[in-house]
Structure 1
Amino acid sequence: MVEKGALVEFKHQGQPRLGVVDRPEGKKNWVVVDQRGQAHTLHPRDFTYEASGEGFKPTDIPQFLREAEDHIDPSSLEIAWEFLSEAGESADPASLALLLFSDQSPSLCYAAHRLLADDKIFFKQKGARYEPRPAAQVEDLQRQIQRETQRQQEWTSFITKARQALAGETIIWEKSDRPRLEVLERLALFGDESSQRTQAIEILDALGVSPTAAGAFDALVALGLWSAHENLALRRSQIPSHFSENLLTMAQQRLQSPPPDPDQQRLDLTHLKVYTVDDASTQEIDDGLSVETLEEGTQRLWIHIADPTRWLVPGDDLDLEARRRCTTVYLPTGIIPMFPVELATQAMSLIQGQTCCALSFGVTLTDTGDIQDYAIHPSMIKPTYRLTYEDVGEILELGLKAEPELQGLAHWAQVRSRWRVTQGAISINMPESNIKVSEAEDQIAIEVLDDSPARQLVAEMMILAGEVAARYGETHALAIPFRSQPQPELPSDEELIQLPNGWVRDSAIRRCMTRSEVGITPSRHATLGLDRYSQVTSPIRRYTDLLVHFQLKAHLRGEPLPFSSSEVTELAQGASTASYEATLVERQTKRYWALEYLRRHQDQVWDVMLLRWLRQDDGLGLIMVEDLGLELAMRFNRDVTLGEQFQVMVSHANPRQDIIRFEEVVPEEQESSTAIAAS
């Protein structure tokens, strides 16, 4: 029963507080006065402890607490737990005080009470007594508390370092910081859909940063972990951007100690003049071209394709990694290769002046461009010239007699192109932009790739090799990936003739094109005008091409094919999915840098053409920025006709938000005419 002058403990704002019972308040409550003289009206059930003794005054409380606190040592509780566990006994504050302090004075009993009440490890309260927990449970609780303590320490350390980094200090991040940084990354990448959004917001709140996806992005940039132009499309994808140390080591070992060449009887074609033709920045050189004049004067075309299978074994780690990646990814900021760079750009590539392994396709054509005869050989070649498209264009334009082979290749490319047109090939000539960004991301260059004779030459030879590979595969019933394209429903001649010739018409045709398909049964490819086709000319950067090489070479050697029909189907489907993702990342990244380029050139006037309407009722059309080869949306507030050319400036550009707005520039003479008419 509660008496006046009793010393009791109660909770105030969640914390234990001592007070002295002063007087009753009503029938059930008591007024309790704490050491500060503050009165509290409490019901006896609110008391969490009552000290033995009576006649206490509020002024006694400070001394009472000092005496108790001198004996509150949580480590002593473990000793009591061990003793009571062995004895199989429980304890209350009085018995624990006697056990620990050999004294049961009120202040020491209160010290024992506080030890038991605050304990989360050794004892469990049952009524007025405390029972020792089982040893296994104690160990588990200790581990939990240790983990929580470590987590709190890591949290404090992380927030401290993050604040220092935001203040401009150089910080060395530790492995324990990585999970929290990844939480921020996920919020920046996926916004409200992030699975750890709550944790990210907690971090951003602690740093005083806006708890949004944009805030997380800005924080990662400010922390020096991301670039201001971080490629979010790439980070959201499943595309690996680095190779493991094991794979890099394996690549070096292959360079130093190649596996046995399964094609010991390679055809020696090192006497042929071989041209490799690529952009100046190309590192993976996977094709070369030759012309051989036979005794009767017939010309045989040779398309030499790099032979990376020489350095691989089907199913080894390098092959499996290439399957996982499926393609080299080409970004304005650089490439993400399918193979480690040292291997892809050295041993696997066709290097000028070096004897290289290749898979060579020898083809003779009829006068009209159809295939007359062909042969496929694992070979040895020695590339003579590494040329750019510009080099080839200049040689062809000048008609240099020193390079008749190149003139011959150009001739047969034209013959071949005309033949494909007779077979129903669909020609679409739209400008394509090539965007390059410097390593420091301070320079952006945009080049328009025109459909030059040099590019047409190389493209025709690659298509020819693809048809030869497909013919061989079809003739011998090989399980290889064939690429096909269903016939599109093109606009009628009446519809096309109403459209301006050139880009507008080609844009209308392009809209009708169907997606290509991959399977192990040959079928027609509508755009190319071929009844069978297989991509085979880029085995360093496209896994389906590599797959064709594995299968063709095994058959040429008379060996069983390394991959069954079902395996080829599965691998080709997986490669198609990965390639589609890579294409999306490439497009999104290219668009980002295109918009960033325009943002940096907002004062420039651009010549554009309206290609087609996206939503004509809303005045939304697709324009071609002629000097850049970029197709972008623009909203019009006047009547515009398809094919109309005019000038625009950028009124607003935000690459991160994928926003671009143009405003039309009215020529000065038109403004003057309008002003005169108005007056």
Structure 2
Amino acid sequence: MSTLVRYPGPGCIVEFLHGNKPNVAWVLEEQSGRLRVLTINRREMKLPAGRILPWPGPAHPAEASREEIAHILEDHESRREELASQVDPEEIWELAQGDVDRASITWFTGLTWNEPDADHIAAMGRRMLEQKTHFKFHPPEFEVYPAQKVESRRVEEETRRQREHIVTAAQQFFHALWEARSKGRSAPEPPEGMAETLHAILIAAMADTSGSPELTIWNTVRKGLPDLPQLPMFLGQTWGVIPEHFNMQLLQEGYDWGDDWAREFDAEMDELEKGLAALAQEPEETPFISIDSASTHDIDDAFHVQSGPDNGYRLQVALACPALGWEFGSPLDRAVRERASSVYLPEGASHMMPERYGIGLFSLYQQQPKPALVLDCNLDENGNMLSMEPRCTWVRIEQNSTYQAMEEALDTPDCDPCLTLAAELGAKLRQRRIDNGAVVVDRPDPTITLEGEGAETRVLIEDSPRYDRAQATVSEFMILANSSIGQWAADRGIPMLFRTQDITLPGDAAGVWDTPEDAHRIVRMMAPTTQELTPRLHATIGAKAYAPLTSPIRRYADLMNLTQVLHALEHDDTPRWDREELLLMLPHITARTEAAGRIQRFRPRYWKLVHFKQRKKEMFSTTVVEDGQLVILAMPKEQMYVRCPRNLLGDKIYPGQRFAVRLNKVNPLTNEIRVVEALEE
């Protein structure tokens, strides 16, 4: 028989929630809806009556001593815990299903015991409060969840439990890893079965993937550890799961290195390959030649030059055509768009397109029929454009050559007339651009070579071979192709992704600049280029419209521009995308292109800093390019700038002055470097 008390007063046993757990107490006094109680821990508290759980009782003599009260509370607590252990809340839920949506605690207790007292009822209440997946407490009743919600809450509860387990394990393990790193000890072993999960947390932390559950866990467990951007990488390296010189920026920019990412698209590429085979045509007879670095595999351009009327030139530029049959919006296209550009680093290359597609199907390898967009240009004797006609066709490249081979051939009496004319035209094209205000900054990148692996990696920086005529010729042909197609599109109102730099440079800025001080001065006058849909001036190129499309295998923007041209040729100047469609796509394409560009810029600098760190006792040649409290020094060989305290260089400082400097306190990860000694050369 129930011994619950309707209005608890002095001597009544009550329970209230504290710390999300029922606590038993003795009512000492009741006044105006407020209770003064003594807890089982012999602590007095004041509670509003509303905090009392709906199973007060039984009532005992109010005049009991404090010692007697303590014993009574302990007896009730012990009995209630024992009774609670006999209750299966899931069985109670099964019995209640279909009968009630909600009911009092007394009703639920009656499902287990025939004549329950206050301790039975309190025991049932305790167990139902614990079972949050099946019941919800709406004082004074309990709601019975339907089966679907129970399953949902079970999943939520299991997820929460697993997360708490992971957080505890990760916190202990990562703190132990940092202590091992700090004290030079061996790394601890991860908790059993947790290695993969802990590794995923470090990867998410390095990637800084906003919103990921792993990053949320990392932000919880990192408390108490040093606030270092590279902390997850340091922990991974101490553990041994992250290699030395790991490129954390790839994760941060969301760029998958290598070609493994493409495997999931094999079936889609099979279909593309079949479609391309069905479009194959007999290639033209034009003997195109490609000129690239010896290490280049993704060959996306070739040319042929011959004499034209009135001492002019006919230049045909063949561009690889991966847009042929490409399905924009497909899963493969979305993956390629995220990559946005190929990346070429000292440790290797990672291509924008799957290697099977970009290199295998469309790279302009010699003696293989390939689809191409050919720009057929007629120029006068001074290199001025007379006409340009694009056409989509198939070509067979006669020869894949190199800058070195072309440079050497130009010095022989029996040089191929095509190469001789090409070099002649290239020089005229450059001069014509300079006459139009173009700025050519000649700062060749060094060759960075890595020897060894992991912590044993040594970095070598050497001057790159100079093949000035060959490199300038190819460069000028590509600039001509991009500027002429930009003007062609502008004349027809075809929207393209134009590269613009609509600034006014001083008249004396035009020319070729090759000394460090001149190059620095000129570059400071320039503004960054932007990608937009309106053709505008590209000041440093010297072009009124510039729409890059010469590297469609390597750059997504070029692929889109190539597609616009192909579609316009096939559909009476109607582009694949109108201006509004391109405008919606532009922000994402620009953001992803910039992400790939950051990798391309910052990773070589990292290796240069490693090079300097490995040579702290060596002296390096520098040139003053800008005076100030911190003098800016250019390092011509390494193509870097460093800042130097003025007091290390003496009183008289001027641009072009040369110093040999020693570098120290070099940290490649934080991009720190300091000049500690300088001697005038």
**Counterparts in 2 of 1:164 and 1:385: CA distance versus 1, 3 Å:** farther
Pairing 1:152–2:170 present? no
**Counterparts in 2 of 1:111 and 1:337: CA distance versus 1, 3 Å:** same
Contact 1:293 1:300 in 2 (8 A): yes
Separation of aligned partners in 1, 2:76 and 2:432: 106
Among 333, 347, 353, the residue aligned to 2:361: 347
2:251 corresponds to which residue? Answer: 235
Pairing 1:100–2:118 present? no
Contact 1:621 1:636 in 2 (8 A): yes
Contact 1:209 1:219 in 2 (8 A): no
1:464 corresponds to which residue? Answer: 480
**Counterparts in 2 of 1:566 and 1:487: CA distance versus 1, 3 Å:** same
Aligned-pair CA distance for 1:343: 0.6
1:444 corresponds to which residue? Answer: 459
Letter of the 1:150 partner, please give it: T
**Counterparts in 2 of 1:562 and 1:66: CA distance versus 1, 3 Å:** same
Separation of aligned partners in 1, 2:658 and 2:445: 19
Q: Deviations over 1:625-671 (max 9, x none)?
A: 1321222333322332111101111121122222111122347xx9x
Letter of the 2:601 partner, please give it: R
Pairing 1:540–2:553 present? yes
**Alignment length, in residue pairs?**
638
3-state SS of paired residue (1:657) = coil
Structure 2 gaps, min length 5: 1-7, 178-186
2:380 corresponds to which residue? Answer: 366
Aligned-pair CA distance for 1:577: 4.8
Q: Identity percentage over the alignment? A: 20
Pairing 1:203–2:221 present? yes
Separation of aligned partners in 2, 1:100 and 1:408: 101
Contact 1:278 1:285 in 2 (8 A): yes
2:205 corresponds to which residue? Answer: 184
1:602 corresponds to which residue? Answer: 616
1:636 corresponds to which residue? Answer: 646
Pairing 1:247–2:247 present? no
Separation of aligned partners in 1, 2:311 and 2:592: 46
**Counterparts in 2 of 1:125 and 1:526: CA distance versus 1, 3 Å:** closer
Separation of aligned partners in 2, 1:554 and 1:41: 84
Letter of the 1:339 partner, please give it: M
Pairing 1:505–2:489 present? no
Letter of the 2:558 partner, please give it: D
Pairing 1:488–2:504 present? yes
Letter of the 2:539 partner, please give it: A
Separation of aligned partners in 2, 1:135 and 1:315: 44
Aligned-pair CA distance for 1:478: 4.5
Separation of aligned partners in 1, 2:255 and 2:284: 38
168-177 vs 227-236, greater mean Cα deviation: 168-177
Contact 1:592 1:655 in 2 (8 A): yes
Contact 1:259 1:311 in 2 (8 A): no
Note the 1:542-581 alignment, pairs <5 A. 542-557=555-570, 559=572, 561-566=574-579, 570=583, 573-574=586-587, 575-581=589-595
3-state SS of paired residue (1:288) = strand
3-state SS of paired residue (1:353) = coil
Aligned-pair CA distance for 1:462: 1.7
Separation of aligned partners in 2, 1:310 and 1:123: 61
Aligned-pair CA distance for 1:286: 0.6
Letter of the 1:626 partner, please give it: P
Among 71, 83, 86, the residue aligned to 1:71: 83
Separation of aligned partners in 2, 1:198 and 1:314: 35
Note the 1:262-341 alignment, pairs <5 A. 264=281, 267-269=284-286, 272=287, 274-292=288-306, 300-313=314-327, 318-319=332-333, 321-341=335-355
Structure 1 gaps, min length 5: 671-679
3-state SS of paired residue (1:460) = helix
Contact 2:320 2:363 in 1 (8 A): yes
**Counterparts in 2 of 1:61 and 1:414: CA distance versus 1, 3 Å:** closer
Separation of aligned partners in 2, 1:535 and 1:180: 40
Aligned-pair CA distance for 1:422: 3.3
171-180 vs 149-158, greater mean Cα deviation: 171-180
Q: Deviations over 1:564-584 (max 9, x none)?
A: 541575378444454344333
403-412 vs 567-576, greater mean Cα deviation: 567-576
Aligned-pair CA distance for 1:402: 5.5
Letter of the 1:289 partner, please give it: F
Letter of the 2:617 partner, please give it: D
Q: Deviations over 1:443-471 (max 9, x none)?
A: 43434445722211211222233344345
Separation of aligned partners in 2, 1:77 and 1:367: 93
Contact 1:624 1:631 in 2 (8 A): yes
| TM-score, L = length of structure 2 | 0.76
Separation of aligned partners in 1, 2:169 and 2:578: 58
2:429 corresponds to which residue? Answer: 416
Separation of aligned partners in 1, 2:45 and 2:496: 86
Q: Deviations over 1:158-212 (max 9, x none)?
A: 65478669545488769977985576346x689xx9999875342234xx74465
Separation of aligned partners in 2, 1:428 and 1:330: 21
1:675 corresponds to which residue? Answer: none
Contact 1:220 1:226 in 2 (8 A): yes
Note the 1:626-665 alignment, pairs <5 A. 626-637=636-647, 638-639=650-651, 640-665=653-678
3-state SS of paired residue (1:310) = coil
**Counterparts in 2 of 1:356 and 1:280: CA distance versus 1, 3 Å:** same
Separation of aligned partners in 2, 1:8 and 1:530: 87
**Counterparts in 2 of 1:224 and 1:144: CA distance versus 1, 3 Å:** farther
**Counterparts in 2 of 1:503 and 1:42: CA distance versus 1, 3 Å:** closer
CA RMSD of superposed structures (Å): 4.8
| TM-score, L = length of structure 1 | 0.76
Letter of the 1:444 partner, please give it: V
1:591 corresponds to which residue? Answer: 605
Contact 2:79 2:119 in 1 (8 A): yes
Letter of the 1:593 partner, please give it: W
**Counterparts in 2 of 1:341 and 1:436: CA distance versus 1, 3 Å:** farther
3-state SS of paired residue (1:258) = helix
Note the 1:378-417 alignment, pairs <5 A. 378-397=392-411, 399=412, 401=414, 403-417=416-430
Contact 1:647 1:666 in 2 (8 A): yes
165-174 vs 213-222, greater mean Cα deviation: 165-174
**Counterparts in 2 of 1:195 and 1:364: CA distance versus 1, 3 Å:** same
2:469 corresponds to which residue? Answer: 453
**Counterparts in 2 of 1:645 and 1:59: CA distance versus 1, 3 Å:** same
3-state SS of paired residue (1:100) = coil
Aligned-pair CA distance for 1:607: 0.6
3-state SS of paired residue (1:305) = strand
2:234 corresponds to which residue? Answer: 218
